[in-house]
Amino acid sequence: MLTPMNRAGGLPANPELLRKTTEWQALMESGKVATQSDIACQEGITRARVTQVLGLQRLATERVLRPIATITDHKDRIREFHKLSGSQLTQIRDVP
């Protein structure tokens, strides 16, 4: 089951949700599926749900990276980026 975002951290509460978003994005980028509607048909869910889930990934990425992006000093920004945990980096690495 696909679950909503974890309110505390802003990241998806269910690893399956994140796996699906990464998988769907890869399918679209590779051309194996043309649209979110194609994904919805394959998954047996609505196109609206696919849109919601993909939106959650983008939102999670923004919530992780936005504070770092506002740091004006380049070295400080890089240092803060490197402080991100491996799981956070994995979650955001494939987001356009």
Task: Annotate 28-37 with b (16+ C-beta within 10 A) or e (fewer).
Answer: beeeebeebe
Query: Would 38 be classed as within a structural domain?
Result: yes
For the ranges 3-17, 26-40, 53-67, the maximum mean pLDDT occurs at 26-40
| CB neighbour class for 24 (10 Å; exposed up to 12, middle 13-18, buried from 19) | buried
The rounded distance, in Å, linking the Cα atoms of 37 and 66 is 30
Q: Residue 4: its pLDDT value, please?
A: 45
| 85, pLDDT greater than 60 | no
Q: What domain range is 20 assigned to? A: 15-92
| 64, pLDDT greater than 70 | yes
Q: Which position has the higher pLDDT, 5 or 44?
A: 44
Query: Would 44 be classed as within a structural domain?
Result: yes
Query: Would 5 be classed as within a structural domain?
Result: no
What single DSSP character describes residue 57? H
